[in-house]
Chain A
Amino acid sequence: MTCAELEERLAVAPLDTLDAAERAALAAHTEGCPPCTERLRALEAAYAWLEDAVSEEEEPLPAALRERIVAAAEEGRAPAATATKKPASGPKRIALSCSYCHGELPRGLSAFCAGCLAPHHADCFEEHGRCSAMGCGETRLIRREAIVAAARPRRRLASAIGFAAGLLVGALAGAGTMLYQENIHVTYDSKSVPIDVPVATRDLKPGEVVTKADITIQQFPYGVIDALGGTHFAANESDRLEGARVLAPIRAGQVFQGPHFVRPKITWETARDPLTGTWDGGAEWGEVIIEDGRGVYSANRGTGQGRLVLHDKGERVYSGTWGESAQRHGTLELTVAPDRSRVAGTWRAVAWGSSGPSSGTLAWTPRKESLPSGPEPIVGGRGALVAKRMEVLVEGLVGEIWLNGLPLPDAFRHTKSASGDARLEELAVDLREGDWLVFEVATDHSRVGRAFFGASAFDPAGAVAFATRSTGGWFACDDIERLGAFVSLRDGGTDRFATAAPSSSAAAFNTFLDGTTGEPIWGKRSTTWLKCVVSQAR
Chain B
Amino acid sequence: MTAESELLVDANVDIGRLYDEHAPRVQRFLLGLRLRLDRSAIEDAVQETFLRLIRLLREPGASPSYDGSRPLGPYILGVARHVALDLCRRRPAVRLLEPHVSFATSGEPDAARSLEQRDLVERAMSALAPEQRTALVLRHVNGLPMEELATALDCSVPTARSRVENAARLFALELRRTGLERKELSS
Q: Which residues of A contact B (CB under 8 A)?
A: 8, 10-12, 14-15, 17, 35, 38-39, 41-43, 45-47, 49-51, 53-54, 57-59, 61-62, 65-66, 68-70, 72-73, 76, 78, 84, 100-102, 134-135, 137, 222-224, 226-231, 237, 257-259, 395, 419-422, 444-446, 450, 504-508, 510-512
Contacts and interface: CB of A to CB of B under 8 A. Distances in A.
Contact of B31 (A54, A137, A231, A422): A54
Given A507-B110, A511-B107, A43 B19 contact: no
B68 interface: no
B103 A135 contact: no
Given A12-B169, A68-B47, A237 B92 contact: yes
Contacts of A100: 90
Nearest to B120: A46
B94 A227 contact: yes
B164 A46 contact: no
A230 B118 CA distance: 26
Main secondary structure of the interface of A (DSSP, over half): helix
Contacts of B38: 227-229, 231, 258-259, 445
Interface residues of B, number: 76
Contacts of A76: 11, 58
B41 A230 contact: yes
Contacts of B52: 135
B40 interface: yes
A446 B43 CA distance: 15
Contact of B108 (A46, A57, A62, A511): A511
Interchain residue pairs A-B with the least CB separation, the first 6: A229-B41, A135-B51, A11-B172, A420-B101, A507-B111, A73-B15
A223 B173 CA distance: 27
A17 B144 CA distance: 11
B10 interface: no
A11 B115 contact: no
B15 A422 contact: no
Contacts of B19: 66, 69-70
A42 to B, nearest CB: 4
22 contacts: A8-B169, A11-B168, A14-B140, A15-B139, A39-B181, A49-B118, A50-B121, A53-B118, A54-B31, A58-B28, A62-B43, A69-B50, A69-B54, A72-B51, A76-B11, A78-B54, A229-B37, A420-B102, A421-B98, A508-B103, A511-B106, A512-B106
